[in-house]
Structures are given as C-alpha cells and as structure tokens.
A and B are shown apart, each in its own frame.
Chain A
Amino acid sequence: MTEAEQSASSRRFDAVGWLRRYGTSLFLLALIVFFAVENSRFLSLRNVSNILTEVSIYGIIAVGMTFVILTAGVDLAVGSLLAFAGMSGALVMKALGADSLGWLVALATATVVGALVGYLQGKTVTFFSVPPFIVTLGGMTIWRGATLILNDGSPVSGFDAGYRWWGTGSIAGIPVPILIFGLVAALGFITERFTRYGRYIYAVGGNPEAARLNGLDVPAIITSVYLIVGALSGLAGFLLSARLGAAEAVGGIGYELRVIASVVIGGTSLAGGRGGIGGTIVGALLIGVLTNGLVIMHVSSYWQQVVIGLIIVAAVAFDAYAKSHR
C-alpha cells in the first residue's frame, strides 16, 4: 500500500513538497528583487561583488560544516579556528622572513594548522565519545585564547602585494575569494554527489549503527569531517587576513553561527543524513544578501540580528511542518 501511495502522490502536484524543496531559493530571489527595487545601488557590480566576497569567506567554511552536520555533528570552533590558523600562518611567514613566496608559507601553514586542530577535535569526539557540541564549545574558547596568546593580542599586518592579492585581487574581473569559494563548493558538491566518501557521510549520519554493520569505519569518517572543516577554516582565515591586510585575534568572531545558519537554512538536518551543499550555498547567499540589503536600506544592525534569527527559525520550522504533514 505504501508503494501505491508513493507512486500515486508522485503523479499529483505536491505544493508542500515543492515549497520545501525550492522555498529557500524562491525566498532568496524575492529578497534580491525586493532590495533591487528599493535601492538601485543594490544590484551594482560593486555591491554584488562585495556581497559575494563577504559570503565567500564563511561560505568556504559552510561547505565543510555541511559534511559535519550531515554526520549529525556540529563544529562551534570554526570562528576561533579561523583566527588561530590565520594568525599562525601570518606569524610563520613573518618568522621565516617574507620573500615573494611568503603567501604560500602562510596559506600552507593556516590550512595545515586548521586541519590538525580539526583532526584533534574529531579524535576527541570519536575516541572519548564526547558530544561534538561540547568538544567544539571548548575548542571555541581554547583557540580564541590561543590566538590572543600567539601575538599577545595584537594583530599581525604588513603583508606584501602577493599576499594581499588573495583577498583583494581578481582574475577576469572576479575577486579571488569568490573564485576560491566556487572551487571549494564545486569540490564539495562532487564529493557529496559522486564519491564513495560522500555516500559514507550520509550513511553515518542517517544511521550510525547500520553504517557500522555495513562495514564502514564510522569513527574514521567522523574524524575526517572535522579535519575537513578545520582545513577550510584555516583557508578562510588566510583569505580573510589577506582581504583585511591583517591577521587579527578577533577575526571571525561569530562566524560559527553564520556558518551553521547557512547550512541549516539550506535545509540540512541537524539530526544528520539529510541535506546537502547545494542548499548550503543558497543559505549562505541568503544571509549575505539579507545583511547587505538591510545595511543599504539603513536598517540598524540591531534589527538585522533580529531578522536573521527569525529567518533561521522560520526555515527550520517550515521544514519540520512540511515533514509532519504528508
């Protein structure tokens, strides 16, 4: 009977299901139209490029966070890790004496430090069976504090043009951070959609016990997603320091919430096993467009926070409602 139900309902138009699938994208489009009508500057090349560059920094992390949340985990430490890895990269580069390949040293250091810290947190989650919320809540404070210790609270600045290019340069008119975000998102999408590893992530999130009985190495898979999000946080930390011209101890404060919100608004379930990177990109764009549009409309930053919060809750509430009413 359930099979009959399935095939019969697929023939009819399912409005709730359709909205559940495309609702966020539609809302994003509506927002763009609304802001464009309200203010002609909104769709100017300069503003669009601004929005996208802003989105790129946390969007890169959100790609990794999607994997983490698909395994029913979460990483609250990404904002602090961004600062810690970015600062480490800048300091190592300075220590080695900045030559023309200094940016490469900083990029490699930031990414590797991010990956190592992510691996450490992932191992703590799997080996000691500590909930990821706790491990990364601790990590959020630890790595912020460690960043302050690294350079005694002062920013590191004075980067050469080669370094700054990664944050402010462009290729064929497209800012470099946007290109990197595009590359990371594409790799993430390919991983999720076409690889064995992608399947395993969904399996571990959907039913960890069944995944284990199907011969998957569940702890290794869980550890790996924290490693990935750590490495991407490091990459984002490098890009942000290149964009701002300084690696700051206060860089990326609150990013964890923006990143998690992007993933959740994009429809990935915190319970794991359901969702994907396509939705995350829409979610990240939605937050970027909304923040920028409200600024352009001179809505106070206090109200911006209220609006973004409401949208997070509304998106998840709708998803839950649609799921229970079928």
Chain B
Amino acid sequence: MAKSGSGVSSAPNLLEVRGVCKQFPGVKALDGVELQVRKGEVHALLGENGAGKSTLLKILSGALRADRGEVTLDGVTLEPSETPRERQRAGLVTIYQEFNLLPFMSIAENLYLGREPKRRGFIDWAAMHDNSRALLTSLGLSADPRREVRHLSIAHQQMVEIGRAVARQAKLIVMDEPTAALGRREVEILHDVIRALKARGVNFIYVTHRLDEVRMVCDGFTVLRDGRYIARGEVKSMETADLARLMVGRDVELAKRARPARPGAAVLAVKGVSRARDSGGWHAIALSDLSIEVRAGEILGFAGLVGAGRTELARIIFGADHSDRGVLYLHGSELRPLRSPKQAIRAGIALVPEDRKQQGCFLEQSISRNMTLPSLKRISRWRIFVDEAQERQLVEKYRAAMRIKMASSGAAVGTLSGGNQQKVLLARCMALQPKVLIVDEPTRGIDIGAKAEVHQLLFEMADSGMALIIISSEMPEVLALSDRIAVFREGCISGFLDARDATENNLMELMAISTAAGPARGAAP
C-alpha cells in the first residue's frame, strides 16, 4: 500500500533517514524507520501516539542516540554522537511543544542567545534590535524586540522560536505538534509563515494529529505505526480518510450520536455571567452577559477561538474562577455563588480540564489514586481512613466502564498513553456521579483511535441522563459530539446552533472567521 519513493518527484533529498532502530528496555520504539525530506518541501510526519514519532524527533535533534541506522542532512552524514547543539549548528533545529525560551529575557535576547552581535567585545544592542525587528517583520510579527517573552501569547512565542531557527540559518525546522495550543486564526498565521519560509528555501518536518492541517500546508508525508515505517507519498494524491486509515491501520471516522428522542429537563442554567477585563492581565478578555442552559441527556458544545470565553465560562461554572455578575441554577434552584471547585463538586458539577498534564493528572502517582482522589470522602471509614477494598471496587468498576488499558492500577498515570490518561480523568469525574460534566478539549493530543473511543464514552454518559458541556477547538469534533452548539466570540455568545443544521461554514461565520482564508479544505467527516 506504500507509494514507492521512486514515484515521487526527483528533487534531491535534504534529509535521509535509513534503517534507524532504537530499543528501550522491553520495547522496540523504532524498527528500521525510513524518512526522506526533499529539498523545498514541508513534510508531514504522521502516526498515532506511540508510533515512534517522538523517538524519531529526539534522534534527529540529537537528544537520543539511535542503536542503528543512518541520518544524512544535505549529503553530510550526521554522527550519532552529536549533541543537540551540534545538530543545530548543522542546520537542523527542533521546536518542541514546550518552548525553549527564556521568559524573563527580551525577544531580541532570545533570538540571538549565544550569538549576540558584538562591537568591540560588547553586545551591539542597536544592531541586535534592528536585526530582530527585521526578522520579526519578515515573519509578519510586529512586536517590540525589547519586550520580555513571558508577556507574549503562545502563538507569538512560537513565532520567536521560529525566528530563532531562522536566525541560526536552519535548513530544516522540525515542529512537534505546532498547533496543539493554537486557535484557528493563529494556525492560519503559522501556516502562512511556514509557506513564506518554504519559498525562501527553509524545509519543515511537521508532526501533527490534525489531518486537515496536513492538507493545508504539507507536500509529502511519511506514516509510522508501532515503530515501523508504513508509507510515504504526496498529500495531494491522498484522501484524508486514507491517511487516517494508514495511521490507524483500520477505518475510523468520527461517529455522530444517535440523538435521544426528547431532551430531558433543564439541569444547569447559567444567566448573565459577566466579568470585566482585569488590568493585571490575568483575564485577557471581558465576558459579557453569557447565558446557557443544558438539559439532562444533552451535549452542549462550546465552539469558538481560544480566548473567546469558552474555557473562561466553564471555569466560572466550576468555581475555579470568579465572575462579577451571574447566577447559576441547578435543577431550577439558585446556587450560592460557587467560590471554589470544592463547592462545585459538592453541588454535582465536575470538570475535566483542558490541560491534562498541568491541571488534571498527578503524573507520578498511581492510576487508582488519580481516579479516586475527589471521591475519597465517600469511600472512607469515619471519613478518615480510606477503605482500600471499596477503593479497588471503584477503580475496577470505572476501569471497565471507561475501557482503560493498563498493566495494573498501581502503575503511575504518567506511564499511560494520552488517550488512557484522558479516560482516567473521565473515570475520576464519573466516580463523583455528577449531574453536570464539563469536558474541556476531550481529545487534545490523543490519537484517532482513542479519540473515537472517548467520543463513544461521552455519548454513553449523555445517554445515561447526565448533562454534558463539551469544549473543543476542533470544529469536526464539536459538530460530531454536540446536540446544540453555543458559539463564543470575544467574550460573548454570538449564537446557538442546532447540531442538525450546523456546518463548519456557519460555525465559522459565528466565530467571525473569514471562510475564504486558506486553501480549500479536505472533506470534513
């Protein structure tokens, strides 16, 4: 099923990876992997979690050493013993999801770190700032180079990372999941920059789960699965569904829910939530008069750009942040304003937060401890001693219900794949038996197979009569999951859509995204 390399264009290869193997204790992470990047292309590296992409990236960047195999860049063999520094000097720069910027230093200092322009032995600040300004302008970013990096948005920090790679004369920039934390508009800006740099002769390896983005910006692709090379070819000649099939090894599409005959009674109503923008910069946008209602057995989707108010409203409902005005009703009766997640949980509201690692998991602690933490009161004797027999039952019950794959419930949550971690967090909320469940980015950073499973679980929860709020940056996901969709724009709700009538186009209209931007998109599921 692989397209043969000879069928691809004859442009010479910039990067050649041949027969790379890497063995970790007990598992073969890479087994004879091949990767070829032609000069002048943006190359997509595709694969599910655990396919070996991260290991390959680390071998390319010099952070890991391959056991066997050969890597050449522009005809020069890269020695396995090279450090990340030497690789960067050779022109291969890797940009990870967690940026390598110094937050308390200026943009210019970050751009020229270790390579500052000098005059008579001292840093030539004028030249450094002029060069930085020119570089930023060429990337379409009009920021003052003297600004400290910590004040920049994620998208702008990413631009600084790219700018640094350009300032180092990178031939090949490897980007790991570059759009995981970006909103739609920011993704488009990133893609414009990538196209512009490509025209200037910079090559990219683009690692992502989002196949629609592959269509938008990539030329060639390589698919890995289970540490093996599976296929390569031209993006243009492939259907999105075919790419997905290559990654997963079977057919996958986002299933829609069989809608319930009639929605139940209103469970949660939120009326008139408002909050002023705060001068400390903690709340970047003002929220004005947000009102929603969720019924039993219903899934209400929150769509909108990052920072449009989706997550902000969810956190206010959950008591994690505060609003200036607004009232919550649960089953028709008014709730005292929730001052903390503790009170929200007691009232029957649960939240799976957007950032699994930072806000959700206790990575070093066991699966069972992660799963039962908020429920301990219920399974304790005299409210003091944890009843471990009951705890085991609880863990087993929700492990089975969530179909979590694990060696033992005593293993650290950090050893699980992203999909299984997310299921542990869902199990944790389910064990609270909430009336309202809010899930922020239910499938961020997890692979397609696990995504379908998480969706199925969310459907089952709604079918059991729970009221669900789902927040997602991925439009196909919002469309597939929701019964109704609330669309957020700049701190307001710009409209509600019934899922039956909703399309990506009318969603984007309400989100205020110009539908003309970007090239034609692949068939949406």
Q: Do A and B come from one complex?
A: yes
Interface residues of A (CB under 8 A from B): 1-12, 194-197, 199, 202-203, 206-207, 209-217, 273-274, 326
Q: Contact at A214–B373, with CB atoms within 8 Å?
A: yes
Q: Contact at A194–B25, with CB atoms within 8 Å?
A: no
Chain A residues, CB < 8 A from B365: 202-203, 206, 273
Chain B residues, CB < 8 A from A216: 342, 373-374
Chain A residues, CB < 8 A from B361: 207, 210
Chain B residues, CB < 8 A from A215: 340-342, 344-346, 374
Q: Contact at B359–A209, with CB atoms within 8 Å?
A: yes
Q: Contact at B411–A210, with CB atoms within 8 Å?
A: no
Judge whether B29 is part of the interface by a CB distance below 8 angstroms.
Answer: yes
Across the two chains, which residue of chain A brings its CB closest to B384? A195
Task: Give 8 closest A-B pairs by Cβ, nearest first.
Answer: A8-B26, A1-B50, A215-B345, A215-B342, A206-B362, A7-B407, A5-B27, A214-B374
Chain A residues, CB < 8 A from B226: 1
Stretch at the interface among B5-13, B183-191, B305-313, B375-383: B375-383
Q: Contact at B362–A207, with CB atoms within 8 Å?
A: yes
A-B contacts besides A3-B411, A196-B385, 19 pairs, CB < 8 Å = A1-B50, A3-B405, A5-B25, A5-B26, A5-B27, A8-B26, A11-B26, A12-B26, A199-B373, A199-B386, A203-B373, A207-B361, A207-B363, A210-B359, A214-B345, A214-B373, A215-B345, A217-B340, A274-B364
Question: Could you pull out 27 A-B pairs where Cβ atoms are within 8 angstroms?
Answer: A1-B50, A1-B226, A2-B50, A2-B416, A2-B417, A3-B406, A3-B407, A4-B26, A6-B407, A9-B26, A11-B26, A12-B26, A195-B385, A196-B386, A199-B369, A199-B376, A202-B362, A202-B365, A207-B362, A209-B359, A212-B320, A214-B374, A214-B428, A215-B342, A215-B374, A217-B342, A326-B25
Chain B residues, CB < 8 A from A8: 25-27
Judge whether B420 is part of the interface by a CB distance below 8 angstroms.
Answer: yes
Judge whether B84 is part of the interface by a CB distance below 8 angstroms.
Answer: no
Number of interface residues of B (CB under 8 A): 45
A195 to B365, CA, bound (A): 16
Across the two chains, which residue of chain B brings its CB closest to A1? B50
Chain A residues, CB < 8 A from B288: none
Across the two chains, which residue of chain A brings its CB closest to B344? A215
Q: Is the interface of A mostly helix, strand, loop or mixed?
A: helix
- A214-B341, A215-B341, A215-B374 given as contacts; is B417 within 8 A of A3 (CB)? yes
Chain A residues, CB < 8 A from B346: 215
From residue A288, how far is it (CB to closest CB) to chain B in Å?
Answer: 30
- A8-B25, A197-B384 given as contacts; is B341 within 8 A of A213 (CB)? yes
- A209-B359, A210-B361, A215-B342 given as contacts; is B27 within 8 A of A4 (CB)? yes
Chain B residues, CB < 8 A from A213: 318, 320, 341, 351, 353, 359-360
Across the two chains, which residue of chain A brings its CB closest to B25? A9
A11 to B27, CA, bound (A): 12
Chain B residues, CB < 8 A from A12: 25-26
Across the two chains, which residue of chain A brings its CB closest to B388? A194
Q: Contact at B385–A194, with CB atoms within 8 Å?
A: yes
